[in-house]
Amino acid sequence: MKIERFEDIEGWKIGRKLANLVCDFTAQKLFSMDFGLRDQIQRAAGSVMHNIAEGFDFGTNPEFARFLGYSKRSCTEVQSELYLALDRGYISEKQFDEAMKLAEEAKSATGGFIRYLQNNPKP
C-alpha cells in the first residue's frame, strides 16, 4: 500500500485509537478530577498521532524518522501514566490491558516504519 497521506500510516491509525481510548478513560468521574494526570496522559496520547502527522510533511525521511521517534516515546509515556491510573483506581485492569496493548502496537508499527525510513533515506 502506498502512503499518500498521514492517515494511511498504520502507527497513526493505532495512535488515534489510543488517544480516543485515553479520552474515554479520562472522562470518567474520578480520573477527570485528577487534572494533572488527566491532562498529561491526554497530551501524551495525542502526541502519538500528532507527531506522525507533523513529521509526514517534513520532506526528508531522516526528519520524518525523528518525529516517529517522538511518537514512540509518547507511547511509552502513556504506558507509564497508565500504571499510575491503575494504581490510583481510575481505570480497571481490563482498561489498562487494552490501552497497553494499543500502545505496544503503535510502538511496534512506528518502530518498523522508522527502520524502513532509515534504510531508505530518500523522500
- Interhelix angle 10-26/61-87, nearest 10 degrees: 30
Confidence check: pLDDT of 6 > 80: yes
Residue 123: its pLDDT value, please?
56
pLDDT above 70: residue 1: no
pLDDT digits (tens, 9 = 90+) for 85-123: 999 999 999 999 999 999 999 999 999 999 999 998 665
Within a domain: 123: no
Asked if residue 58 belongs to a domain, the reply is: yes
| Residue 91 lies inside a defined structural domain of this protein | yes
pLDDT digits (tens, 9 = 90+) for 55-91: 999 878 999 999 999 999 999 999 999 999 999 999 9
Residue 1 domain-assigned (yes or no): no
In a domain, 39, yes or no: yes
pLDDT tops 90 at residue 18: yes
Number of domains comprising the chain: 1
Q: Is residue 23 part of a domain?
A: yes
Q: Is residue 18 part of a domain?
A: yes
Proportion of the chain above pLDDT 70, given as a percent: 97
Q: What is the CATH number of the domain that holds 107?
A: 1.20.1440.60
* Amino acid 58: pLDDT: 83
Residue 2 lies in a domain: no
Cell of 120: 531508505
Cβ neighbors of 20 (< 8 A, separation 6 or more) are none
The reported pLDDT for the residue numbered 46 is: 98
What residues make up the domain containing 109? 7-118
Higher pLDDT, 51 or 61: 51
Bin 29: left if φ > 0, else alpha if -120 < ψ < 50, else beta: alpha
